Structure 1
């Protein structure tokens, strides 16, 4: 039986222990903003990618890596920020919130909810209409955690979503928004 993969939190902890929090965050910011390209991430900067993923062959792809898979680098970089943080990383998340890859934006939404990053909410609103329910639900949770009163209507629209998970996420997000803002919003039925 092969070695079990370490949990992301443990991988990040090990990378920070070896390289320092600031270095790891700097790498993630560079990956998220494109300062380190996908080609470089699988080339000269591969040790950085290996450190944040805990895998000697991140993605398990053969060389050369198909550029269609480069978005995974940004997903992994965003995931790292769930476990180690510095406030200036929000600037990279502003860039990543417009990423063409939904998995990257989904992680930005998770970070927005976790860290209550209100400055990212408007950039995430389009994902409330995404074709995948998991993306809509994650965006709704982010809006509930970090949004303002003007965002309530977007959540109210999701109360009639065809997917139950999205409806529940929208209801919970509205409740969280109400509690945070100390006010109530109508529930459409």
Structure 2
């Protein structure tokens, strides 16, 4: 991967990937990471930028770890299909707080009322991590 691509923002990297493969295909690849734990090194490099290398070599919790799940969720801020919503709602139960926080942010930006997003966000308002509680509160319009 070129240094120019690695150093760009997530929005640019993801936008470029979506332009190449289409939004539905890109979202599907992200869903494969979240649902199946698939290791897609090319996609992980797009999602993580400069941070992807260490993760792919097993550092920072490795390619099956929370960073990859967090990055896959973050991609939904830039690319979306309604098929992603149940997986994002399910991510509110992830064992790592960063994943739950990002799931709340994505639900805030993208959720409909069909998949239980509001109930998941209400539950996250009681989460053990303050950043997760804050993200859920913002998503529900009740910060604090």
Structure-1 residue corresponding to 2:83:
88
Matched residue, 2:47: 52
Mapping of 1:26-65 within 5 angstroms? 26-33=28-35, 35=36, 37=37, 40-41=38-39, 45-55=40-50, 58=52, 60-61=54-55, 63-65=57-59
Q: Does 1:11 align with 2:4?
A: no
Q: Report how many aligned residue pairs link the two structures.
A: 138
Indicate which of 85, 103, 107 corresponds to 1:108.
103
2:22 aligns with 20
Runs of 4+ in 1 over 4 A off after TM superposition: 65-69
2:65 corresponds to: 70
2:102 and 2:87 mapped to 1: Cα distance? 12
How does the TM-score come out when normalised to structure 1? Answer: 0.63
TM-score, normalising length from structure 2?
Answer: 0.80
CA distance in 2 between partners of 1:7 and 1:67 (Å): 22
Q: Give the deviation of 1:94 after TM superposition.
A: 2.4
Whole-angstrom CA distance in 2 between matches of 1:21 and 1:93? 17
Work out which structure has the larger RCO, using CA pairs closer than 8 Å and 6 or more positions apart in sequence.
2
Are residues 69 and 83 of structure 1, via their aligned partners in 2, closer, same or farther at CA, if it must alter by over 3 Å?
A: same
